[in-house]
Amino acid sequence: MAEHAVVIAGAGPTGLMLAGELALGGVDVGVVEQRASQDLPGSRAGGLHSRTIEVLDQRGIADRFLSEGQVAQVAGFAGVSLDISDFPTRHPYGLGLWQNHIERILAGWVGELAVTIYRRRQVTGFAQGDSGVDVELSDGQSLRAEYLVGCDGGRSLVRKAAGIEFPGWDPTTSSLLAEVEMAEEPELGMRRNAFGIHSLGKVEYEIRDGEVVYTDGGTVRVMVTEPDVGPTSEPTLRQLSEGLIAVYGTDYGIHSPTWITRFTDMTRQAAAYRQGRILLAGDAAHVHSPVGGQGLNTGVQDAVNLGWKLAQVVQRTAPESLLDTYHAERHPVAARVLRNTMAQVALMRADDRIEALRDTVSDLLSMDEPRRRFAAMMSGLDIHYDLGEGHPLLGRRMPDLDLVTANGPLRVFALLHDARPVLLNLGEPGGLDITPWADRAQLIDAKYVGDWELPALGQVAAPAAVLIRPDGYVAWVGDGTDTGLRDALTTWFGSP
């Protein structure tokens, strides 16, 4: 029986990101994926929000994505565009890039690290004991691990087999989504009718001056909302044709579909992200309407929150209880995503009164303060883990500042490429000592001249030092003394 410290079920965006994070943390990780290759039929998620681009930048791989996608203002709420170009981040935008490309690029990165991927087989069950988990595979083999992480999507076998509840709300609306060829050139863009919103676009596109530009011909991406919630069976080309005719009066001669699927606004969240040696991340832990494009982003960020914690627990530098902070921090983040998607779905309903309400919300969001707050939420830049009272930076993302060090200029995110914690001393050089943690955390003396500004919050007081976790969130803020530093180091990175 092959053994790994951690086995991940599923090599979607969440599983891949987690595999990379664990490998950076020096953990022996095996990933089980039922698909034969990383190829994904259909495009699914349409891109990345600002915070996810930052998270990738923290690992030094953001450029791989930026060079292939379309940088654009993608944040929005219930169809109201939210511009973040004035936000204090190196990436005040989102990225239009289909999920198949995101997965390919992530898989390329994981391929450079020490990760074993078992393809063409499923996780079919597991048995967890005091010392580990036996993971059963569909080919009759099994794997032994200390921890099993279910990154196996919304229908997660791991979640179900662990008996973790998945409470929430049944769907109220469904849409057919497909990629097809059309004999006639369709009317591209959005359309709204009594059933809801529909759209026709091209898989290949460019963004020029903020506008989506399609070339003639090519594969069409169809999204038609159904009059009633559709069945759970796989939709057919005929149903898609009927759906198009009901909305557009024609099916534009659709043929040769490469992908037809149905998505709904089913909204559910795992009651627990951890049960002993079993953890959940990504869609396995939360499902919701795709409105606002937050699913993949939330999954990738779950992985970045969990990876370094699990790595430390597996390596016995931190106690197992550190894993409980994963649920404590990430469950509220996804719960808020669930709430905001439910609000958006309600606001997008086809009804004159809802339309009046949508206009009202749109008016509100055109004002600066609401725009900044909602844009910070939708782009993931305002995430705040509750680490107690203190400086506003505590529990928030560390900005990617341009530092000056004895060795020259340095970006904060460059210090996070190896997923190791950083104590950044911006005060008197040599004023802080973390010798007992020297094997785990880096101590950098640096200077920063400039404002400290956080998305949505604005200007904050300059700290004398910050302890930055490998996921880029601030675990401790210094006031010129080392009060609380030992405790923070012990809490997050284990006893000296």
Would you say 186 or 290 has its CB closer to ligand FAD? Answer: 290
Contact between 141 and 193 under an 8 Å Cβ cutoff? The reply is no
Strand partners, 262: 176
CA–CA distances in Å: residue 138 to residues 48, 125, 141, 427, 484 = 33, 9, 7, 57, 50
Rounded to whole angstroms, how far apart are CA atoms 206 and 375? Answer: 23
* Nearest distance in Å: CB 72, ligand FAD: 12
The total of other beta-carbon atoms located within 10 Å of residue 122's CB is: 17
* Nearest distance in Å: CB 338, ligand FAD: 12
Would you say 248 or 263 has its CB closer to ligand FAD? Answer: 263
Would you say 26 or 125 has its CB closer to ligand FAD? Answer: 125
Strand partners, 192: 197
Residues that bind ligand FAD (CB under 6 A): 9-15, 32-35, 44-47, 99, 122-123, 151-153, 157, 177, 263, 282-283, 290, 293-297, 299
* Nearest distance in Å: CB 333, ligand FAD: 13
* Nearest distance in Å: CB 261, ligand FAD: 7
Q: How many CA atoms lie within 13 A of 454 on its CB side?
A: 21
Would you say 70 or 425 has its CB closer to ligand FAD? Answer: 70
Would you say 61 or 394 has its CB closer to ligand FAD? Answer: 61
* Nearest distance in Å: CB 274, ligand FAD: 16
Rounded to whole angstroms, how far apart are CA atoms 313 and 8? Answer: 16
Would you state the structure tokens that stand for residue 186, as one six-digit string? 């369709």
* Nearest distance in Å: CB 358, ligand FAD: 20
* Nearest distance in Å: CB 40, ligand FAD: 8
Closest CA to 471 of 407, 413, 386: 413
Would you say 46 or 399 has its CB closer to ligand FAD? Answer: 46
Strand partners, 144: 3, 134
Q: How many CA atoms lie within 13 A of 66 on its CB side?
A: 17
Q: Is 220 left (phi over 0), alpha (psi -120 to 50) or beta?
A: beta
Would you say 107 or 485 has its CB closer to ligand FAD? Answer: 107
